[in-house]
Amino acid sequence: MTKRLRWMVVFAIVIPMTIVAQYFHRSDLIFPEAAALTIGTWGGEAHAWSASKVKLALLPPLAATIGVVFNRLHLPTVIAFTLMVVLIPIALDLIDSALIPTISAGALPTLFHITSPWFLVVVFAITVCLSSGLYLGDKFVTISRPRGGDQSRSDTNDEFDTPTGNSAHVDLENRSANDDLISNRGQDDIDEDLSKSSVTRRRVLIWFIVLSIIWTLATWWWLPHAALAPPILVSFYEWLKSSNRTNLRFLKRWASITSGIVIGTIAHQGVSNFAISALVAIALTFAVMTLLHEIHPPTLAIALLPLIFPATIAYERAFDVSLAVAVLYGLGLFLPKFIRHHSWTIDPLNL
């Protein structure tokens, strides 16, 4: 499947969701992480998210259900949100899943006081469609593989019979292709640090939980709650897991996410129709990510946040999101460097 066709799948998932929300005049039927999940799994930007089709289908709806139940039990919002941010990452680690958007699926209902069971239906429909499509795609590839496999063996035998010069040329082409693959993967690092070391992974997990709790409490008392939007925390967790945290990468990622929330805000303010607004926001945000060479799936979810934010002070909320990304990403970038320069501490990230 080509990249262009994969992006058509993003629209095929997001647009029907927004049309339904528009028809019923209910923004609580919008799940922004749908865009991130689609491009991350179908677009191949985050292969780890689709490592298990069953987990992809079930984990986000399960987390969303817990969040809605917390709301129906009238659990205080700050407590329910904090529990989601703490328990879901721990659960993902215990079941060895890298499906980080599950955090957003569980935390989103608690933050925006979503109690409707129809939100659960929307999340479940999206994840089942994505996992079913991936499953059928794998089946199709498996059925088609024997003929390709025979051809591959034939090509391999021919390669052993070719002169040394031709073989060297083939090796050079393969090496060039591998270099291109590595270069392209550098745009997004979601699959870079998967389970290389359980100790390192859990140290990152602890750091995420500690910093998220501190940020939640600080934001709850001193900043608008838009700075707690769950896709921001998903992006922050991926940033902590990355081994490619540099000043330049920080600036590019901040510019990409800030552009996404600003574009989404302008699109939503300029176009009242959810579907058209989402279409414009996703298309323009992807264009910016492409220009910055920073394809990051959670950015698309952040671009859809204005659809569920209250209409008042929209641009101030965009500023809050940009500030949150700057602070959290800055902590992820500079805190390990600070720790390394003090002998009285141990680097928790061990990177």
What pLDDT digit, counting tens, does each position of 136-169 carry? 877 765 554 444 444 443 443 443 333 444 444 4
**Domain regions of the chain by residue span:** 3-340
Q: What is the pLDDT of residue 143?
A: 53
What's the rounded Cα separation, in Å, for the pair 271 and 289?
22
pLDDT digits (tens, 9 = 90+) for 27-55: 999 999 999 999 999 877 778 898 899 99
Write out the chain in H/E/C secondary structure. CCHHHHHHHHHHHHHHHHHHHHHHCCHHHCCCHHHHHHHHHCCCCCHHHHCCHHHHHHHHHHHHHHHHHHHHCCCCHHHHHHHHHHHHHHHHHHCCCCCCCHHHHHHHHHHCCCCCHHHHHHHHHHHHHHHHHHHHHHHHHHHHHHHHHHHHHHHHHHHHHCCHHHHHHHHHHHHHHHHHHHHHHCCCCCCCCCCCCHHHHHHHHHHHHHHHHHHHHHHHHHCCHHHHCHHHHHHHHHHHHCCCCCHHHHHHHHHHHHHHHHHHHHHHHHCCCHHHHHHHHHHHHHHHHHHHCCCCHHHHHHHCHHHCCCCCCHHHHHHHHHHHHHHHHHHHHHHHHHHHCCCCCCCCCCC
Predicted confidence band of residue 226 (pLDDT cuts 50, 70, 90): confident
For the entire predicted model, the pTM comes to: 0.82
Single-letter code of the amino acid located at 207: W
CA nearest to 113, candidates 288, 244, 308: 308
Q: What is the pLDDT of residue 191?
A: 52
Q: What are phi and psi of 224, to 5 degrees?
A: -60, 150
Whole-number average pLDDT of the chain? 82
pLDDT digits (tens, 9 = 90+) for 84-118: 999 999 999 999 999 999 999 999 999 999 999 99
pLDDT at 243 over 60: yes
Q: What is the pLDDT of residue 339?
A: 62
